[in-house]
Structure 1
Amino acid sequence: MTETVRVAVPRKGRPLEAVLERFATTESIAEVADEITSTLRYEKSVTKGHTRPEHDVYERLADYSDLSDPAAPEYTLLRDDRDGMPRRIVFDSVVLEIDGVDIHLVGREEPFRALRTHEFGLGFDSADLVLEEVVKLRPEGLGSIEDVNARIDPMDTDVRVVSGLGDTVYHTLMADPELLPPGSELDRDFVADYAGDLCISPRYERLVEAVLGTRCLDDVTFAYPNDAPEEEAAIAETGIGVYLTMTGSTAREHGLVLGEHLFPSETVLMENVAEATPAAETVKRAIASPELETELKV
């Protein structure tokens, strides 16, 4: 009898695409992954008002989800948090067969929390959430997967990070060049000697504290973008800050220089060690790729 491993995954966006890409080990799975990705990108365009569909949301949902085909992906409706709270079609479920094991990918709004409550033994989510929710704050900062797992209190959760998928953007220091003395580097040491406002997104406050370390922030006060159209604009007004960067082009447009990459924001495979099973090893092997260098790895 074929074993089935249930895996919690994000319902949409870059993290889900990274998961689907990693599982696309055969042509048939790649076709399913491409179908899901293209469907959700189209629906994102509809939600943002860039595309006007011919059929209403319920007709599209019925068209996407073929319940007569057990191998077909399924979708569901959620209320988007945009103005008017429009209904948005998101990923719900698909079963992929890899190495004799059925891997049931199940969409969740918060996969990490589904693992924490023991609903799943395996799941994919952003590494940021681990730092934001369960990593202990210490005077010294962190920057590696070993540091992350070492700072998770086993009395708080059984979830551990296993490996990253390589879909990396970075939490990066950026600053007005006039703030930097000649010859100085914009890095953690600079922040440790700095006193004043540091602009960050409010949701990343605990993450920045964990990454930089509380000692580094002794004389620092967090400032927030408030109504600024772009975080980089708010950082330029403050003088120094931390924000996610891929190429850094927007930061440079605002006259900022880029400093140290503090921590990778990456989709990671997580495991609830209390729910581990032999079949789950198949999932770990499926995402392992010696050709791919990931930022987060054991």
Structure 2
Amino acid sequence: MGETIPIAVPRKGRPLESVLDRLARRVGISELADDITSTLRHEKALTKGTLESTEGNVYHRLADYSTVSDATEPEFTLVRDDRKGKPRRIVFDSVTIPLEGVDGVPDGTRIQLVGREEPFRALRTHEFALGFDSADLVLEEVVELRPEPLDRIEDVNARIDPADTDVRVVTGLGDTVYHTLMATPEVAPSAASIDREFLEGYEGPLCIEPRYERLVRAVLGTRTLDGVEFAYPDDGREEEAAIADAGLGVYLTVTGSTAREHGLLLGEQLFPSETVLLETSPELTDAIRAVRSLLNGPDLETELAVSS
């Protein structure tokens, strides 16, 4: 029997889909990846109320999903969703993927994807040697705050105190969206860009999601934030609408269409938000390093460039 290597992954959403896409390209599990992704998208639609279930309640559906013959079939579990009413939601739990015949990986090696609410924290406790999570969480948890800004994922490791954690970023998966500065026409400078330089001379409210406060401090640098007062959206209020009320803010954007609908002008893309491969250095073995190399690779189109 070869080694089974557990890898912590998000339970749902874009980061998990990015991990599955990566494995589909590298290991050839397209059918499995599609099965997990379609199941979770279906369950998300049911939780949001945009789709009506004809398959019984959430417990019946979970029982159907959990009828598996072995660990190579995906298993799911229930969590409380943060939507109104805190409904139970079906999310990913685990699956085992054999790597037989994969170049560079020892014979008999398997990986076990294990769902975690916050994979980065599971790596910090040395529960896993490898995992995937949003780069945002690394900034929110362990990156040092300094006067100068941080504008590249590539520089994240340099700001992690070795005494704080053994976890390091290996590479990104290229599923990039951006924390973007945006402003109303009344607040935006008339003859300059909405960027860090503008912020250095700005005094007033800056609307952000509360969970991103430390991230924004790290990305912008503490010097830039002199004279800036953070404001936060009220519970249940759309972020772009709250930014429009404040006049200036930072939020994640893909196309920026929703921001424009609220009359906001898009400014500098301050920092890329991307799913990243993480490692806990003391836990690495030869087999784990081989799997890490399999998951990394030069074919990734990522904002990150970290040598392994």
The reply to whether TM is greater than 0.5 is yes
Query: What code does the residue aligned with 2:170 have?
Result: V
What's 1:59 paired with?
60
Query: What code does the residue aligned with 2:128 have?
Result: F
Matched, 1:237 2:245: yes
What's 1:195 paired with?
203
Deviation of 1:125 (Å):
0.6
How many residue pairs were aligned? 298
What's 1:283 paired with?
291
**CA contact 1:121–1:272 (8 Å) conserved in 2:** yes
Distance across 2 between alignment mates of 1:209 and 1:104: 36
Matched, 1:292 2:303: no
- For structure 2, which runs of at least 5 residues remain unmatched after alignment? none
Query: What code does the residue aligned with 1:6 have?
Result: P
Equivalent position to 2:229, from 221, 227, 242: 221
**CA contact 1:7–1:120 (8 Å) conserved in 2:** yes
Structure 2 residue matching 1:24: 3-state secondary structure = helix
What's 2:75 paired with?
74
Structure 1 residue matching 2:168: 3-state secondary structure = strand
Deviation of 1:28 (Å):
5.5
**CA contact 1:64–1:75 (8 Å) conserved in 2:** yes
The range that moved more, 13-22 or 64-73, is: 64-73
What's 1:209 paired with?
217
Alignment TM-score, normalising by the size of structure 1: 0.95
**CA contact 2:154–2:303 (8 Å) conserved in 1:** no
Deviation of 1:291 (Å):
3.6
Query: What code does the residue aligned with 2:14 have?
Result: R
- For structure 1, which runs of at least 5 residues remain unmatched after alignment? none
Distance across 1 between alignment mates of 2:188 and 2:75: 52
1:185-230 residue CA offsets vs partner (Å, 9 max, x unmatched): 1111110111111111111110000000000001111111125731
Distance 1:214 1:67, change over 3 A: same
Distance across 1 between alignment mates of 2:223 and 2:255: 29
Structure 2 residue matching 1:244: 3-state secondary structure = strand
Query: What code does the residue aligned with 1:16 have?
Result: L
Structure 2 residue matching 1:52: 3-state secondary structure = coil
1:119-139 residue CA offsets vs partner (Å, 9 max, x unmatched): 111110111001001111000
Equivalent position to 1:120, from 128, 132, 141: 128
**CA contact 2:148–2:220 (8 Å) conserved in 1:** yes
Alignment of 1:80-99 (within 5 A): 80-98=81-99, 99=102
**CA contact 2:153–2:272 (8 Å) conserved in 1:** no
What's 1:11 paired with?
11
Matched, 1:22 2:22: yes
What's 2:256 paired with?
248
Distance across 2 between alignment mates of 1:110 and 1:154: 20
Distance 1:228 1:83, change over 3 A: closer
The range that moved more, 187-196 or 22-31, is: 22-31
**CA contact 1:9–1:106 (8 Å) conserved in 2:** yes
Distance across 2 between alignment mates of 1:17 and 1:146: 22
Alignment TM-score, normalising by the size of structure 2: 0.92
What's 1:32 paired with?
32
Distance across 1 between alignment mates of 2:280 and 2:238: 37
Deviation of 1:289 (Å):
4.4
**CA contact 2:174–2:303 (8 Å) conserved in 1:** yes
- Alignment RMSD (CA, Å): 1.6
Structure 2 residue matching 1:222: 3-state secondary structure = strand
**CA contact 1:46–1:53 (8 Å) conserved in 2:** no
Distance across 2 between alignment mates of 1:27 and 1:46: 31
Structure 1 residue matching 2:193: 3-state secondary structure = coil
Distance across 2 between alignment mates of 1:123 and 1:91: 15
Distance 1:25 1:227, change over 3 A: closer
- Taking only the aligned residue pairs, the percentage that are identical comes to 68
**CA contact 2:189–2:198 (8 Å) conserved in 1:** no
Distance across 1 between alignment mates of 2:15 and 2:254: 15
Matched, 1:144 2:152: yes
